[in-house]
Amino acid sequence: MNDSLVRIENLSKEFQRGSEVTPVLAGLRLEIRRGEFLALMGPSGSGKSTLLNLIGGLDRPTRGSIAVGEDRVETLSDSALTAWRARHIGFVFQFYNLMPSLSALKNVELPLLLTHLSSSQRRKHAETALEIVGLTHRLKHYPHQLSGGEQQRVGIARAIVTDPTLLLCDEPTGDLDRKSGDEILGLLEGLNRQQGKTVLMVTHDPHASARASRIVHLDKGRLVQEAVS
Amino acid sequence: MKFFPLIWGSLKRRKLRTALTVSSIAAAFLLYGYLSAIRSGIEVGIPIAGQDRLIVRHKISLIQLLPASYLGRIEKIEGVKQAVHSTWFGGIYQDAKNFFPQIPVNPADYLRMYPEFRLPPAQLEAWERKRTGAVVGRKTASKFGFKVGDRVPIQGTIWRTAGGATTWEFDIVGIYEGADPAADETQFFFRYDYFDEARMGARGQVGWYIVRVEDPAQSEAVARKIDEEFANSPAETKAESEKAFMQSFAKQVGDIGLIIKAILSAVFFTILLIAGNTMAQGVRERTGEIGVLKAIGFCNRLAMGLVLAESLLVAAIGGGIGLGLAWVLISMGDPTGGAFPVFYFPISDVVMGAVLVCILGLATGLLPGLSALRLQVATALRRL
Ligand SMILES: Nc1ncnc2c1ncn2[C@@H]1O[C@H](COP(=O)(O)OP(=O)(O)O)[C@@H](O)[C@H]1O
Ligand SMILES: [Mg+2]
């Protein structure tokens, strides 16, 4: 076993709308090592989210292969893919995407509802995750009662509560001011450094990508590597 | 149910809309309950009409009288267990709007024929002793305040006394109760022997016969034998089951069952559209949320299950309130103040109501549930 976690070979993705075919990713190759904090940069519309979705099993590639650990993601059936996502992937979204009707604690518990954990165990795990992101004082708050930065912390807590193999973040600071954004970046950096989490973060902000251990650029459907920072 | 907070939360968030949907479902089921009770009032007696009882009337019409002497001949027919007769008195107590049926009968025989009318044995004895004695149903008794010992004057509209008077006087000796909610507690029974002796004209004539057969399976054959017995006589008969008789009687008011079904179908169709549309709108607005749940690892079937559980919950709350309210209001009594001889919510209709609640819940959740099932995660997330 080598230390690469994600291996992408010859990956292509085209979107079809009627007879019109839009190629977004064309024959892409990428490897992410275990414990890496990789930033994925590129202009808007270059296919960053598309690539993230493919790695996370939210969408299917047109061609090519995606291996995460032992699993060949593109070969899994829909239901197997869903179960695989629940076990291996933690998503962090630009607009947090919390359930507005649930408290912070209940939001973080959400992925654990799919496990066999008892309600007290679920609660304990969720509290631990919220402690990691520094929100122990906001357990009972609802999303609309939290600031953007706090909501994103809840989003991160929800992503890490199942202890996933890979953390996929799509512009996690894109909707935040500089200060809150820095805090979130610090948090992701900490998860990467101290807990050894592998993180793939999409951003178009150089200030954000500077925190990563490696940066790749996506342009016109192809990847351009950049030196380790 | 660990997913309950998620379902409840999405309802709680659209408080007004949920409240309106729940109220419209509750109103529909309240109406359903009331219409059931009204039907029970119009089809009085039909649900408990004895399978083993026949009604024998004049072939030409119910108003034509039959000789009282038929009693002995009917009793001799093979397959007949018991026979009694009854006659329509058609009197008025104080005011024409105070309607209740008055019927001259032979007390002990009649009560044996109708065990669903319960009279304390001591009151039956008192009735046997008192020629002018009468027994009245609990409902009529409480409506007019009749008590044992009261003397009740009734204006005869069809029958006069031999002395030419139109007023008949009866002494209340007993109050009967129905053994079943469908039993008619509005009737007023008095003694046939007193009636026959005291009436002017038509002596020895009765309205119709009630016959109990030995074997319910043979009731049609027995009915034919009775009609054959009196064929080619001046008073030919028509015998039919009590249920058929009552149904044809209720049909004179109109086919209530059909009218009620038509009204309820229209109401349920409307509710289906209203609740279905609200549900579909709610799910459409939550497309992103459902996408996020799927990204987290909720499978397609679970996403659909959550939507169905939500629509079932709305239907159950609305239906529960409606049926419960109907039950309470109906048990408080007939809103017309006594136009119906009976007024109750039949258990079979309550069960049917519960089934309709489930059907409504599933039907309103089906289409939105399927769209949740089919929702593509990547597409849903792009819309956020
Ligand atoms: N479901 C889709 N159908 C059609 N086109 C799509 C779809 N998803 C993405 N695209 C197109 O793919 C391109 C890349 O989109 P995206 O991955 O969201 O870019 P980025 O995240 O880098 O801004 C865009 O041109 C976008 O319009
Ligand atoms: Mg994007």
> Which residues of chain B neighbour A111 with C-beta distances below 8 Å?
296-297
* Residue A176 pLDDT > 90: yes
Q: Both B263 and B316 in a single domain?
A: yes
Query: Would you state the pLDDT for residue B334?
Result: 78
Query: Quick one: which of B15, B174, B59, B162 has its CA closest to B110?
Result: B174
Task: Report the C-alpha gap between B209 and A64 in whole angstroms.
Answer: 91
Q: Give the residue-averaged pLDDT of B216-239.
A: 93
Cα B271 from Cα B263, distance rounded (Å):
12
From the list A58, A79, A99, the residue facing B377 with the nearest CB is A58
Q: Is the pLDDT assigned to residue B45 strictly greater than 70?
A: no
Same domain, B204 and B329: no
Nearest alpha carbon to residue B296 among A67, A107, A135: A107
Q: Are residues B184 and B246 in the same domain?
A: yes
Q: What is the mean pLDDT of chain A?
A: 94
Cβ-defined contact of A93 to B12 (cutoff 8 Å): no
The answer to whether B372 and B303 have CB atoms below 8 angstroms apart is: yes
Gap from CA of A205 to ligand 1 centroid (Å)? 19
User: Which of B117, B145, B122, B144 is CA-nearest to residue B133?
Assistant: B122
Q: Which ligand is nearest to the CA of A174?
A: 2
Interchain proximity A110–B384, CB inside 8 Å: no
Chain A residue at shortest CA distance from B286? A99
Facing A99 at nearest CB: one of B2, B289, B299: B289
Residue B276 structure tokens? 């279905």
Q: Examine the domain organization and report whether B361 and B377 are in the same domain.
A: yes
**What residues of B are in contact with residue A52 (Cβ under 8 Å)?**
none
Minimal Cα–Cα distance from B319 to chain A, Å? 25
- Give yes or no: residues B36 and B77 share one domain: no
Helix intervals (H) in chain B? 4-13, 15-42, 70-76, 107-113, 121-129, 138-144, 192-198, 219-229, 242-251, 256-285, 287-296, 300-331, 347-374, 377-382
Query: For residue B33, how far is its CA from the centre of ligand 1 (angstroms)?
Result: 55
How is chain A split among helix, strand and coil, in percent rounded to 5?
A: 40, 30, 35
Rounded alpha-carbon distances, angstroms, from residue A98 to A48, A158, B270: 22, 9, 35
Structural domain ending residue among the three candidates B237, B253, B269: B253
CA-closest residue to ligand 1 atom 3: A15
Tokens found for residue B252: 């004179």
From CA B169, how far away is CA B197, in angstroms rounded? 14
Residue where one domain finishes, among candidates B238, B253, B268? B253
Please state the domain count of chain B.
2
Residues B133-186 have pLDDT tens digits of 999 999 999 999 999 999 999 999 899 998 888 999 999 999 999 998 888 999
What is the pLDDT at residue B159? Answer: 92
For residues B330 and B347, the answer to whether their CB atoms sit within 8 Å is no
% of chain B at pLDDT higher than 90: 74
Question: CA-to-CA distance for A54 and A38, rounded, in angstroms?
Answer: 16
Residues B196, B112 share a domain: yes
**Strand B102-105 relative to strand B188-191, pairing:** parallel
Contact (CB, 8 A) for A221 and A29: no
DSSP designation for A113: G
Given an 8 Å threshold on Cβ–Cβ distance, is A95 in contact with B384? yes
What's the average model confidence in pLDDT over B237-252?
82
Query: In Å, how far from its chain's centre is CA A44?
Result: 18
Statement: residue A227 has pLDDT above 60:
no
Same domain, B272 and B206: no
Residue A220 in this model has a pLDDT that exceeds 90:
no
- CA-based nearest distance B177→chain A, Å: 55
Measure B299 CA to nearest chain A CA, in Å: 6
Residue A7's contacts (CB-CB under 8 Å, 6 or more residues apart) are A30, A31, A65, A66, A67
Residues with C-beta less than 6 Å from any ligand 1 atom? A 15, 17, 22, 24, 42, 44-50; B 379, 382
Q: pLDDT band for A21, please (50, 70, 90 cuts).
A: very high
Q: Evaluate if residue A6 carries a pLDDT over 60.
A: yes
Listed residue (B368, B355, B351) closest to B275, CA to CA:
B368
Distance CA B350, CA B323 (A): 7
Single pTM value for the model:
0.79
pLDDT at B75 (0 to 100): 95
pLDDT digits (tens, 9 = 90+) for B249-299: 777 666 777 888 898 899 999 999 999 999 999 999 999 999 999 999 999
Same domain (yes/no): B155, B209: yes
Q: Which atom in ligand 1 lies closest to the alpha carbon of residue A170? A: 21
Residue B382 Cα to ligand 1 middle (Å): 8
Given pLDDT bands bounded at 50, 70 and 90, which one contains residue A229?
A: very low
For tokens 């309106």, the residue is B20
Same domain assignment for residues B54 and B159: yes
Indicate whether B52 and B38 sit together in one domain.
no
pLDDT band per the 50, 70, 90 thresholds, residue B61: confident
Distance from the alpha carbon of residue A55 to the mean position of ligand 2, in angstroms:
14
**What confidence tens digit (pLDDT) does each residue in A31-62 have?**
999 999 999 999 999 999 999 999 999 999 99
Contact B245, B85 (CB under 8 A): no
3-class secondary structure, B187? coil
Q: Do B297 and A102 touch (CB under 8 A)?
A: no
Among A183-187, B48-52, B231-235, B269-273, the minimum mean pLDDT is found in: B48-52
Same domain, B127 and B245: yes
Predicted pLDDT at A208: 92
For B126-139, b/e burial (b = at least 16 CB within 10 A) is bbeebebbbbbbeb
Query: Average pLDDT of B104-117?
Result: 95
The rounded percent of chain B whose pLDDT value lies above 70 is 96
What are the CA-CA distances from residue B25 to residues A126, B63, B284, B358 (Å)?
Answer: 38, 46, 21, 12
Find the mean pLDDT for residues B188-207.
93
CB contact under 8 A, B294 and A82: yes
For position B332, what pLDDT does the model report? 87
Q: Give residue-wise pLDDT tens across range A179-215.
A: 999 999 999 999 999 999 999 999 988 999 999 999 9
Query: B4-13 and B15-42 are packed helices; what angle lies between their axes, rounded to 10 degrees?
Result: 100
Domain that holds residue B346: 4-44+254-381
Mean pLDDT of all residues belonging to chain B: 91
**3-class secondary structure, B231:** coil
Q: Which among B223, B253, B283 is the end of a domain?
A: B253
Where does A133-177 have alpha helices with state H?
148-160
What one-letter code names the amino acid at B79? G
Residues B51, B40, single domain; the answer is no
**Alpha-carbon span A204 to A48, nearest angstrom:** 10
To 10 degrees, what angle do helices B15-42 and B347-374 make? 150
- A81: part of which helix (H) or strand (E)? helix A78-88
Tokens of B62: 């119910």
